[in-house]
Structure 1
């Protein structure tokens, strides 16, 4: 299990107030890391950090961040270093979605999704990547999606942004391959939030998704922890530029 230990590591999880990344923040703490729980909604980050500390005392601290602002990310970088120490792991998990029909999407709608998804991930890679390059080691984990390729219906801007995140991950894996800094992505299948269920998943759509998923069910956020810990730990020392699929077989399915 030493391969998967994150002891003496500091992990920054952006978007950790949310459905999936809150579970990943807890998973990092379970594996021994000190975790910076970061979210635009500070109250959400505080609640997650308190929940983690109730089980793993003094292992989490909450931070407010606007992931679409480089200045905010730089402030976060300095704050985490002062509180927890140099950063070994950065998970870029911020993002929003929209179910608007294509012909109704405005430029503002499109840009908003790209700002919280692709641009926020790019800025996170810049800020934490530079920090890791300077210290000669680190693991960056981005969040791709089953919609990255091929695109997901009713999620036009989201799908395009996730395809960009996938490409950026591959490109940085190449760029930093000899630097000691690894860049990978997790590609989740369907892990619906309450918002997803309300705005995206009609009974017909649920039937189509589950009919295309060999395991015949949705994923639970805890089922992404193993992938995240693997990519964060020394178990994946020779893994970079990759996309780790966790989707119940969705991407392996045709007819």
Structure 2
């Protein structure tokens, strides 16, 4: 269990995609640290159980409906959070994901009849994936940013990916969007540096989540060929656990620990980025 960061007590965090496997763990830990947590999802119901868990453990949390691609929806969510907690100190842009129409069935192109290739991807699906991961981060930061700037030590944490550094096969839209997140994180960090708002990102390695389970596990629970490649390239030889992200999160949101850190993307990947393959 992590030590309590006393100076986080009384702060308020907004987490988009807050009911997901990774972000829900972040929400629970921030709640344990004394942070009031607003869990945002497209439907409030998705975050209710997480909020109830935090409240049951003695923390403060609410579940709020918000679509990260709908400015008016985000504005309403901001009003709800302010009514409940009065201020916003931390924004975690966790909403994202992929779409079947933006994924190829093959890793490399082969001429002739084949499964879904680059030329078969749907433009709408590609645009949707980019929008959900990147445009949603931009809009949410824009809507909540003015409230963040009213606080003494505000923080934005974006969620990146291993695919932002070196694109994974089959998922070009997701990879491009996460690369944009890294760049946008740096841009925002410079733009807001003199205001005191710090902007950083966390790039998880390979974690089992609801969205990628079918890609990484067979129906019998065994590893897919893709999983075997991933673990062969991960020196620690395991998938990440959601709790593995919490140390980096607490470091980045705590002004006393990382007050001079802004514009970075922190890999939490079991050594994946460091390994050359030989």
TM-score w.r.t. length of structure 2: 0.87
Query: In the alignment, which of 179, 198, 223 is matched to residue 163 of structure 1?
Result: 179
C-alpha displacement of 1:125: 1.4
C-alpha displacement of 1:245: 1.1
Partner of 2:128: 112
Deviations 1:83-140 (A, max 9, x none): 0121000000001213521322211001110121000001111112222224454100
Q: CA separation in 2, counterparts of 1:26 and 1:135?
A: 23
Unaligned runs of 5+ in 1: none
Q: CA separation in 2, counterparts of 1:253 and 1:173?
A: 29
- Is 2:19 aligned against 1:17? yes
Q: CA separation in 2, counterparts of 1:237 and 1:147?
A: 28
Partner of 1:69: 70
Q: Name the SS of the counterpart of 2:158 in structure 1.
A: strand
C-alpha displacement of 1:31: 1.4
C-alpha displacement of 1:176: 0.8
Q: CA separation in 1, counterparts of 2:162 and 2:183?
A: 14
Which protein, 1 or 2, shows the higher relative CO under an 8 Å CA cutoff with sep ≥ 6? 1
Deviations 1:37-94 (A, max 9, x none): 111132111111011112124x111111101111111111111011012100000000
Q: CA separation in 1, counterparts of 2:248 and 2:71?
A: 27
Query: In the alignment, which of 179, 184, 191 is matched to residue 207 of structure 2?
Result: 191
> 2:93, 2:158 within 8 Å by CA — same for their partners in 1?
yes
State the aligned residue count. Answer: 254
Higher helix share: 1
- Is 2:274 aligned against 1:252? yes
C-alpha displacement of 1:199: 3.5
When Rg is computed on C-alpha atoms for both structures, the one with the higher figure is 2
Matches within 5 A, 1:6-45: 6-45=8-47
Q: Higher mean Cα deviation, 103-112 or 81-90? A: 103-112
> 1:13, 1:93 within 8 Å by CA — same for their partners in 2?
yes
Q: Name the SS of the counterpart of 2:182 in structure 1.
A: helix
Partner of 2:119: 103
Q: CA separation in 2, counterparts of 1:54 and 1:130?
A: 31
C-alpha displacement of 1:23: 0.5
Task: Go from structure 1 to structure 2 and tell me whether the alpha carbon gap of 1:5 and 1:216 turns closer, same or farther (over 3 Å shift).
Answer: farther
- Is 2:220 aligned against 1:219? no
RMSD of Structure 2 on Structure 1 (CA): 1.6
Unaligned runs of 5+ in 2: 105-117, 218-222
Partner of 2:155: 139
Q: CA separation in 2, counterparts of 1:60 and 1:3?
A: 18
Q: CA separation in 2, counterparts of 1:233 and 1:157?
A: 32
C-alpha displacement of 1:200: 5.3
Q: Name the SS of the counterpart of 2:20 in structure 1.
A: coil
Q: CA separation in 2, counterparts of 1:188 and 1:11?
A: 20
C-alpha displacement of 1:192: 1.8
Q: Name the SS of the counterpart of 2:19 in structure 1.
A: coil
> 1:5, 1:32 within 8 Å by CA — same for their partners in 2?
no
